[in-house]
Amino acid sequence: MSTSIDPESLAARLGTANYPPVQAWKPSIKGEMALRITRDGEWMYQDSPIQRPALVRLLASVLRLDSDAEYYLVTPTEKLRITVDDVPFLAVEVEQTRTDSHQSLIFRTNVDDIVAADAEHELWVARGSQATGPLPYLHVRAGLNARITRPVFYALADFACQHRIDGQEFLGVFSGGAFFPLECTG
């Protein structure tokens, strides 16, 4: 997929994000916030879009998915439940990098997280409705996932190959030493 960011700069940004330790925080104040992340990745506060990308990135940095399958914005003192229609992020860009014989697929999300698909950051395709078709996803961090946008999913086709698993052929992609089928898994 042609972008304004070259693969080397994406690769250089991998693992450089410094997120707050939200998984370790045990806030005493709990509540709800009128914040909703729509299926198309729009962050809405009281039904109005948040227009400042820096604010969205800040909120995303303190986002947590808890064992109750609810999403929360978390600080050391507060935990506020929010609504997420599907998953909190979108994978909006993909680039391929090669070193020796290994390939990495590096994704950028709508909140500027940079993630290479690998054993810790799995890519999978869920069965959608007839209207939506297949729904591809990528694990970003700490239980938080991104839905891969349609143009990025189509770009993955350029990197796809056939691979045999347990005697069955699958169309998919290699990244970070792992193979990810591009077919529906559930």
pLDDT digits (tens, 9 = 90+) for 109-165: 999 999 999 999 999 999 877 767 889 999 999 999 999 999 999 999 899 999 998
Let me know whether 106 and 155 are in one domain. Answer: yes
CB 87 within 8 A of CB 147: yes
Structure tokens at 156: 């993955």
Residues 173-184 pLDDT 10s: 999 999 999 987
Residue 4 has pLDDT above 50, yes or no: no
Give the pLDDT confidence score for residue 15 in this predicted structure.
56
Let me know whether 43 and 100 are in one domain. Answer: no
| C-alpha distance from residue 28 to each of 78, 87, 121, 160 (Å) | 6, 26, 31, 48
Let me know whether 118 and 38 are in one domain. Answer: no
Give the pLDDT confidence score for residue 58 in this predicted structure.
96
Which residue range forms the structural domain that includes residue 146? 88-181
Residues 18-51 pLDDT 10s: 889 999 999 999 999 999 999 999 999 999 999 9
Pick 86 or 131 by higher pLDDT: 86
Asked, for residue 13, whether it belongs to a domain, the answer is no
Residue 85 has pLDDT above 50, yes or no: yes
The CATH number assigned to the domain holding 45 equals: 3.10.540.10
Mean pLDDT of the chain: 90
Let me know whether 77 and 152 are in one domain. Answer: no
| C-alpha distance from residue 80 to each of 22, 60, 135 (Å) | 12, 13, 28
CA-based end-to-end distance of the chain: 27
**The total number of structural domains that make up the chain:** 2
Let me know whether 141 and 165 are in one domain. Answer: yes
Asked, for residue 132, whether it belongs to a domain, the answer is yes
88: which residues sit within 8 A by CB, 6+ positions away? Answer: 37, 60, 63, 71, 144, 145, 146
Residue 17: pLDDT band with limits 50, 70, 90: low
Let me know whether 99 and 72 are in one domain. Answer: no
